[in-house]
């Protein structure tokens, strides 16, 4: 570490993240303030069918006031295994269950101010559940879009898919499934 923590303030304990302000001192004796959004992390799923199609969700995102295409994803519960979270979110948001889940990577979304780490999984052997989606309150507007992975990758290049976790997940799935 290149600093000493002098004081930590928790300004907000939220449902999605906590806001922390750290007062630090560098070895030079200069002080600074670091604002951190402390987030429990989450899991992201790339649902892939045998024919090369993937399943995206289309949903409204309040912070940007837009409807965007995304991969199914969700926040980790306390002490929850990311794979368990991935399976739960896949079933809730899409109404599908995977017979096989393969971890592709984990990455920090915005390490300059946020602790959020996302774990990305490739889901194969998809089976539709008889009851369909099991959406939470606020997710009622989620709709599904099945399309070939190549088309989804083209959508990224044309600015039609703008969500970071979705871009990372689709590119890694393309590499894993040998689809350019």
pLDDT (tens digit per residue) in 51-95: 999 999 999 998 999 999 999 999 999 999 999 999 999 999 999
Residue among 35, 91, 137, 139 flagged as catalytic: 137
Strands ordered across the beta sheet of 53-61: 66-70, 53-61, 143-148
Quick one: pLDDT at residue 132?
75
- Give the residue among 138, 151, 127, 134 at the shortest CA–CA distance from 56: 151
Quick one: pLDDT at residue 167?
98
Between CA 41 and CA 115 the distance in angstroms is 7
Tokens in use for 26? 């560098």
User: Would the pTM of this model clear 0.85, i.e. be above it?
Assistant: yes
Q: Is 94 helix (H, G, I), strand (E, B) or coil?
A: helix
Q: What is the mean pLDDT of residues 119-125?
A: 98
- Give the residue among 118, 70, 112, 67 at the shortest CA–CA distance from 94: 70
Any catalytic annotation for residue 83? no
Q: CA angle, 73 as apex, 91 and 19 as ends, to 5°?
A: 135
């Amino acid at each position: 570490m290149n600093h000493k923590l002098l004081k930590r303030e928790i300004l907000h304990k939220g449902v999605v993240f906590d806001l922390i302000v750290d007062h630090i001192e560098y070895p030079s004796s200069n002080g600074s303030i670091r604002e951190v959004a402390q987030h429990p992390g989450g899991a992201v799923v790339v649902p892939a069918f045998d024919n090369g199609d993937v399943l995206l969700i289309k949903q409204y995102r309040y912070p940007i006031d837009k409807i965007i295409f995304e991969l199914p994803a969700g926040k980790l519960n306390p002490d929850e295994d990311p794979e368990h979270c991935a399976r739960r979110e896949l079933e809730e948001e899409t109404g599908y269950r995977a017979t096989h889940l393969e971890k592709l990577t984990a990455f920090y979304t915005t390490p300059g101010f946020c602790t959020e780490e996302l774990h990305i999984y490739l889901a194969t052997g998809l089976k539709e559940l008889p009851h369909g989606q099991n959406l939470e309150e606020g997710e009622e507007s989620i709709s599904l879009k099945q399309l070939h992975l190549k088309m989804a990758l083209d959508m990224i290049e044309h600015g039609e898919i703008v969500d970071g976790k979705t871009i990372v997940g689709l590119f890694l799935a393309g590499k894993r499934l040998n689809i350019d």
